[in-house]
């Protein structure tokens, strides 16, 4: 069974509470929550008050993906807003070990996100300090982009480096076509925005993704 984390970036923001509840009632494992600052990535999404509102409606864990510079400044604030997992970008963290410890001490599960150009070897000395690694399979900043094919090889390399316990999450351009090979390569968690919320029946799309081996 694949763990599916629908990306609320593709939800209907005018009906956010409805979409959160729909995903709570689906086969989804987590809600994926994308935070963009317009500096680390060329786009803005939403901030702490919206995360709080999502938390109020949600029963499943919030998997918060920070695409922001200086994430250390906001660790306590995202914990207070309701984040269960907090994922920071390796490219945004000069003291990543310290950042991951601070996230864990704040009571959240720490994750490391990795841009498409960053090699898996960059994780060698730090992967043991994270509960999850989020491999970006698009350049972060927007939903609905095309999947980057070199991701499969990165999944295989990361699984070999990290062993069985690390959760490997794939984020960006996940479809029914590429999901089976991602899972066969060693991925555990599939983030899906457009594939879920762009489907005629989002709950059914989650169920189909979750049933993949």
Instruction: Report the candidate in 201, 202, 199, 178 with the shortest Cα–Cα distance to residue 190.
Output: 178
Rounded CA separation 10/146 (Å): 15
One DSSP character per residue, 33-56 reads EEEEBSSSSS-B---HHHHHHHHH
Judged by CB under 6 A, the stretch of 73-81, 97-105, 115-123, 142-150 that binds ligand DX5 is 142-150
Tell me if 114 sits within 8 A of 136, measured CB to CB: yes
User: Among residues 82, 110, 172, 202, which is the contact residue for ligand DX5, using CB under 6 A?
Assistant: 172
Using rule CB under 6 A, residue 193 touches ligand DX5: yes
The answer to the question of residue 111 lying near ligand DX5 (CB under 6 A) is no
What residues form DSSP beta bridges with 35? 66
Supply the minimum distance, in Å, between the C-beta of residue 52 and ligand DX5: 20
Distance CA 107, CA 85 (A): 9
Instruction: Figure out which of the listed residues 192, 205, 206, 209 binds ligand DX5, where binding follows CB under 6 A.
Output: 192
Residue 64: contacted member of ligand DX5, Zn ion, none (CB under 5 to 8 Å, by partner type): none
Residues, the chain: 213
User: Chain-centre distance of CA 74, in angstroms?
Assistant: 17
Q: How far apart are CA 194 and CA 209, in angstroms?
A: 13
Scan residues 14-43 and list those touching ligand DX5 (CB under 6 A): 32, 34
- Using the contact rule CB under 6 A, the part of the chain among 54-62, 77-85, 120-128, 171-179 near ligand DX5 is 171-179
Residues of this chain that interact with Zn ion (CB under 5 A) are 34, 65, 171
Residues of this chain that interact with ligand DX5 (CB under 6 A) are 7, 9-10, 32, 34, 65, 138, 140-145, 171-174, 191-195
């Amino acid at each position: 069974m694949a763990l599916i984390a629908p990306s609320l970036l593709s939800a209907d923001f005018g009906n956010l509470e409805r979409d959160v509840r729909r995903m709570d009632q689906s086969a989804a494992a987590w809600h994926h929550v994308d935070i963009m600052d317009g500096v680390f990535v060329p786009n803005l999404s939403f901030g702490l008050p919206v995360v709080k509102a999502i938390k109020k409606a949600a029963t499943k864990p919030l998997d918060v993906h920070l695409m922001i510079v200086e994430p250390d400044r906001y660790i306590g604030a995202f914990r207070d807003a309701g984040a269960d997992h907090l994922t920071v970008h390796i490219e945004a963290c000069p003291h990543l070990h310290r950042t991951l410890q601070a996230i864990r001490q704040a009571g959240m599960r720490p994750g490391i996100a990795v841009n498409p150009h960053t090699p898996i070897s960059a994780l060698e000395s730090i992967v043991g300090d994270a509960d999850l690694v989020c491999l970006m399979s698009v350049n972060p900043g927007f939903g609905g982009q095309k999947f980057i094919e070199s991701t499969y090889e990165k999944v295989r390399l990361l699984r070999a480096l990290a062993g069985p316990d690390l959760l490997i999450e794939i984020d960006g351009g996940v479809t029914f076509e590429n999901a089976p090979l991602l899972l066969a390569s060693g991925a555990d968690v599939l983030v899906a925005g457009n594939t879920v919320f762009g489907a005629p029946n989002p709950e059914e799309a989650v169920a189909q993704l979750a049933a993949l081996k």
